[in-house]
Amino acid sequence: MPSTAPIPARSGGAERTSPVFAPFTLPNGSVVANRLAKAAMEENMAASGQLPDESLFRLYRRWSRGGVGLIITGNVMVHAEALTGPGGVVLDAESPLEPFRRWAVAAKSGGARVWMQINHPGRQVRADMPGVAWAPSAIRVDVGKNSKRFADPVEMTPRQIEETVQRFAETARRAEEAGFDGVEIHAAHGYLLSQFLSPLTNRRTDQWGGSLENRARLLLDIVRAVRAAVASGFAVAVKLNSADFQRGGFDADDAATVLAMLAPLGVDLVELSGGSYEAPAMTGQASDQRTRAREAYFLSLAEELATTSPLPLMLTGGVLRRPVAEEVLAGGIDLVGMGSALAVDPDLPNRWRRDADAKVELTPVEIKDKAVASAASMARVRQQLRRLGAGRRARPGINPKVALLHETVLQRRALRRYRTWLNNRAA
């Protein structure tokens, strides 16, 4: 396990005795200044060409100044024809690197390390999106009456699987070239790699299906390819579900097995989360006897995994207060990821240094349909990100239904722009 430096003794203030502000050394030798990480949130704020621009730079400068030790970007897509949303950022072999260089500089401007989260949506693609909807098996997302909003996926061929491995490696290589400190491979939340891991969505009978060893093959091959494409000091992390929260799906025992599989491959950190579009536990919209009602949704599951994990762990999901972050660390977790809390108050870590009781409050989304509630919750968060990216203050009190309506309008505009860009690229 990595070494941990002693908690710095600073006179006065609330930070002196808190493990939250102790540095952490990763297996590759790089040091994260403290135990707080800005976890990935899907901004859907790409400018023309599916590139980051000044609004994202401004947003990430705010987070870097806010006091976290690590920043993980929102989804960066490895396949230009497969986006989680039309405002997604794409980094592939054809993308210009200069905007990404500026993004990395902005994110590191306050002293934080920055990792790029890299992802492929698989079947979790809207029906109105151009491009492809790939999956391990041709099973559409099932969210009841809203299922028609998702594309009918096709089962991936062996060649498409191999090409996907190379896409992840290429994006990681270019992220390093652009100045990022690491990448996080997204294998959670029901996206492509999570789909391969789950027996509910992976019904294949070839070398990528059946046993967990086969279902994990794509993830492991991607990790190997990424590790081979980047320098040893460049961090490689994986985001993994602690559980899917669906009967018969990927569970905590599976997660423990995958952690053991990842350990020899040069992985520096595994971030634990949970859920998917079908069971959106990551937004607090699904319940389980081992999740918390309001904060640190997945802490009980993570504590179980920490007892045997050969790799450092990070937990993300619902942390709003410093005592809860300290409880996470006391449970054997190494880093604490925060998302929505930092969308509301990007300066919260610095406030915790001065006041252990500082907190943010997020009103629960009271919508019965879990899929709609999850979408409204994410729309409310994205509205805060856009406000911060425009140099304005967050407005967490906005009605989530109003935020979802506004998001729908913005997505339509982004979809028209994305269609045009994709057509021009293919010409």
Q: Are strands 182-187 and 134-135 parallel, antiparallel or unpaired?
A: unpaired
Provide the pLDDT for residue 3.
40
* Amino acid, res. 46: A
Q: Work out the burial of residue 157: count CB atoms within 10 Å of its CB; fewer than 13 is exposed, 13-18 middle, 19 or more buried.
A: exposed
CA 305 to chain centre: 19
Q: Within a domain: residue 9?
A: no
Q: Within a domain: residue 7?
A: no
Q: Within a domain: residue 6?
A: no
Residue 118's domain comprises 19-426
Of 359, 402, 358, 403, residue with least CA distance to 385? 403
The total number of structural domains in the chain stands at 1
Q: Within a domain: residue 147?
A: yes
* Amino acid, res. 349: P
Of 193, 342, 346, residue with least CA distance to 273? 193
Provide the pLDDT for residue 375.
84
**137 vs 12, 45, 142, 209, 410, CA distance in Å?**
58, 30, 14, 9, 31
Q: Within a domain: residue 12?
A: no
Provide the pLDDT for residue 246.
62
> What angle (nearest 5°) sits at the alpha carbon of residue 282, between those of residues 301 and 144?
115
Residue 1 burial (CB count, 10 A)? 10
Q: Within a domain: residue 184?
A: yes
Spatial CB neighbours of 28, under 8 Å, sequence gap ≥ 6: 232, 233, 234, 235, 266, 268
Q: Within a domain: residue 109?
A: yes
CA 324 to chain centre: 20
Mean pLDDT in order along the chain per 10 residues (427 residues): 39 66 96 97 95 98 97 97 96 98 98 98 95 97 87 97 98 98 95 95 97 98 98 97 71 92 98 70 42 58 91 91 94 94 96 94 81 85 94 90 92 96 92
Note whether 272 and 301 are within 8 A (CB): yes
Residue 48 burial (CB count, 10 A)? 10
Q: The CATH number of the domain where 152 resides is what?
A: 3.20.20.70
Report which DSSP code applies to 38. E
Q: Within a domain: residue 14?
A: no
Note whether 64 and 106 are within 8 A (CB): yes
